[in-house]
Structure 1
Amino acid sequence: MRRRMLTPIVAAAAVVAVAAVSHGLVPSGPPRLPGISPLSLLQKIGKPQTQAVSGTVRLNVDIGLPHLPNLGSGGGADPIRLLSGAHLVRVATDASGPQARERIALQDTLSEYDLFRDGGDLWIWDSTHQTARHGSVDALTSALLSFASPSDLAKTFTGPTALETLLFNTAYSTRETTRVAGRDCYVLQITPRSEGTTVGSVKIAVDAATGVPLSVAVYPTGSSTPAIQAEFQSVSFTASPAELRFTPPPGAKVVEEATPDLPANPVQGAGKGWTAAVAIGGVDPQKLIAGLGTSHGPQKEPQGAAAVLAALAGTPGTPLQSYLRMMMAAGQKSPVGLVWSSRLVSLVFTPDQRVFAAFATPESLEATVAAEVGSHS
């Protein structure tokens, strides 16, 4: 990564900024904006006034997972590390041309992990391992459609049940305003009216001029500290073509990815409303952990769910094994299976090799699993 020295212009700008703050030229307190209804703000989000956005996002995650900053086997920027801690993510997108172009870059001190989309092409660049993986949007879409059954998920997360939840079990407010990255924003607050959910509220800061969401924060029930918060530190409503272009550097290993061979439709929905769960079949925790291999001696290629986790981790190895074993050791046995929970997410591993996940309390998720198992017995 290049490090640039401060130019005289940047130094002068910093002096002016400090002087402005000291003389009260920078506005303090929330901005005064014309009133807006929740429906109007949702419509504004759905039709943003710009097709290009770029900037640096600060992501903070504290959902109660074990904090392992060097989880990836090779260190450096690693998407698995997004499960906890604070991270800087560079984003850029431009939909103004004939083909959409996007970039998401996880930035570490001396490395980056980048995802590029250029129309139908996908590139994943891992600077730590000097590896570029190339695939296609169509192949990824096909894999996801084979992995999850839209009809089964629709019963839980869309349709009349979901509409009832949004209309009658959810409160909306647009009374607050704020500033994000120097921009005046409306705040859309979404508050569940359902017992058993771990989500206390969701706050979305929406740029008043463009309708682009600049911050999202998820608050657990009873907490004033968000468990997940993604917020632009700097933002521009333009995107440099050079930033959205990727060419593997000389000497990099280039891997052409084939469509993953995943089992058909192992993902289903269970329950309804804010406590609805996603159920993934064919998950044996012990076999999954063992399938990640070790860092010593010849390694077998991981299969199924283990292959997905290994791909996210960059390379299979013992750090990810240790992480998963820590989670499993913290689980509690119950009549429906092994229960694991954090301040925002609960999991149940059932004897029939399914894992249920939901933004719900352990008791609520156990009830959902019991009802689902009873309906198929």
Structure 2
Amino acid sequence: MAPNEVPGETAGEIRGEARGETRRRASRYVVPVAVAGVAAATIGLVPALAASGDPDLPEITAQQLIEKIAASETQTLSGTFRVSTDLGLPALDGLASGLGGLGGGGEGSSTADPSQKLTELASGTHTLRLAADGPERQRLTLLDGSDEYSLIHNGDDVWAYDSKSNEVFHEKGAFEGPEAGQKELPATPKELADEVLRAAGDTTSITVDGTAKVAGRDAYQLVIKPKQAGSTVASVKIAVDAANGTPLKFTLSSVEGGKPVVDAGFTKVDFARPDASVFAFEVPKGAKVTEGAEEARKSEKLPEDFEKDFEKEFGGFGKGLNVIGEGWTTIAKLDTGAPAPKTDEAPKEIQGLLDSFGDKVTGKFGSGTLFKTKLVNALLTDDGKVYVGAVTKDALVDAANAGK
């Protein structure tokens, strides 16, 4: 066992209750949570960021480093953040226009709506400016050439502005306090770290693997790896500021190799309190303003017979959901109860999309189509069963064969 590795009985799936408990402590270290949220919206940091040489830091165990993250008091910062995502998907340029603008938002929707705009982080490389002053004030600016998109949270107000379209999206009271719904938490960082490690089980290796220089800061490298064969995840690496415990960089790598699936981190960072003017917002002259609450009310209004029609068409869908396996190799199995649609009967644009994503596979289960990315794969069998997980093609086929 490596000197910094967590023993088998305490290493494993870092998720569930312990992970939820960590998120609920956002009031103490809002910046790591905010950064993780940007990255998870699902995110690159060029290797040159660590090229100045690995710092010589005191040795630290994985448990001590998790305790350091949990004890972080960081609530203020400003800096530049680079985000890259590579799911291994085929190029989809022009597909939306070929399908009549699919995914472009409904009639009257705002181009400044964060739920639409931030999906851009799901592919490619992007540069962002970040600023935070506690749980009540944050600002994110997405830079895209000469255009900018800004998302500002200031107290009860959330503002979003798209300079390209000169549109503003506003929502009031969209953020609950970080303590809302909070359960009783571990009393100390050590107790929190102990709970995280206990929740892990024996499916994961958690180690400290050296040091790095990120955005000019000395950092430890926390590495999380599956011990189970069959997962598409090779490793998760988190660079943690050696001085204050703030995560500075996050890298998710696939067993397929190549570019990381997600690579996100600071290129510049300053932990001083940003000026209050950073979080102020005035509607630009001539900008179209969309009120989020009004849009939500419109979307909530459904046709009178919607529920009846939905039940008629999809009432049986999802009743056959099962979970296979555990840990990193968990697979969700869904029996739709209906044969898979024939792709040769679909519109030409849809056929092209399915062909780009899917591979025909066969086995004891019969035949089907495998839809693949570098992280999550799905097998749709011709008799209407669906197998989905962050697992390899072979793992999905084995599950389908066993379930036949």
Task: Give the TM-score of the pair, scaled to structure 1.
Answer: 0.63
Cα drift, residue 107 of structure 1: 0.9
Where does residue 275 of structure 1 map in the other structure? 329
Where does residue 217 of structure 1 map in the other structure? 251
Do 1:328 and 1:340's aligned partners in 2 also have CA atoms closer than 8 Å? no
Do 2:156 and 2:175's aligned partners in 1 also have CA atoms closer than 8 Å? no
| AA at the equivalent of 2:376 | V
Distance 1:111 1:91, change over 3 A: same
5+ residue gaps, structure 1, are 1-25, 142-161, 287-320
Alignment counterpart, residue 74 of structure 2, candidates 50, 70, 73: 50
Instruction: Say whether 1:87 aligns with 2:126.
Output: yes
Q: Distance between the aligned counterparts of 2:56 and 2:125, measured in 1?
A: 31
For residue 90 of structure 2, give the secondary structure of its aligned residue in structure 1: coil
- Equivalent residue runs for 1:1-377 within 5 Å: 28-67=52-91, 79-95=118-134, 100-136=136-172, 138=174, 166-221=200-255, 223=257, 225-237=259-271, 238-257=273-292, 258=296, 261=300, 270-271=323-324, 272-276=326-330, 326=353, 329-333=356-360, 338-348=369-379, 357-365=388-396
For residue 176 of structure 1, give the secondary structure of its aligned residue in structure 2: strand
Root-mean-square deviation over aligned CA pairs = 4.3
Cα drift, residue 174 of structure 1: 0.9
Which of the pair has the greater relative contact order for Cα pairs under 8 Å at 6+ separation? 2
Task: Give the TM-score of the pair, scaled to structure 2.
Answer: 0.59
Q: Deviations over 1:141-178 (max 9, x none)?
A: 9xxxxxxxxxxxxxxxxxxxx97772311111113100
Do 2:80 and 2:267's aligned partners in 1 also have CA atoms closer than 8 Å? yes
Q: Deviations over 1:324-369 (max 9, x none)?
A: 9535643134558542112222134578999765322133245567
Equivalenced residue count is: 290
Higher alpha-carbon deviation: 337-346 or 323-332:
323-332
| AA at the equivalent of 2:210 | E
Q: Deviations over 1:190-218 (max 9, x none)?
A: 11111111111111000011111110111
Q: Distance between the aligned counterparts of 1:103 and 1:356, measured in 2?
A: 39
Do 2:224 and 2:235's aligned partners in 1 also have CA atoms closer than 8 Å? yes
5+ residue gaps, structure 2, are 1-49, 105-110, 178-195, 311-317, 342-347
Q: Distance between the aligned counterparts of 2:51 and 2:89, measured in 1?
A: 38
Do 1:337 and 1:350's aligned partners in 2 also have CA atoms closer than 8 Å? yes
For residue 59 of structure 2, give the secondary structure of its aligned residue in structure 1: coil
| AA at the equivalent of 2:394 | E
Do 1:65 and 1:84's aligned partners in 2 also have CA atoms closer than 8 Å? no
Distance 1:269 1:119, change over 3 A: farther
For residue 41 of structure 1, give the secondary structure of its aligned residue in structure 2: helix
Do 1:336 and 1:370's aligned partners in 2 also have CA atoms closer than 8 Å? no
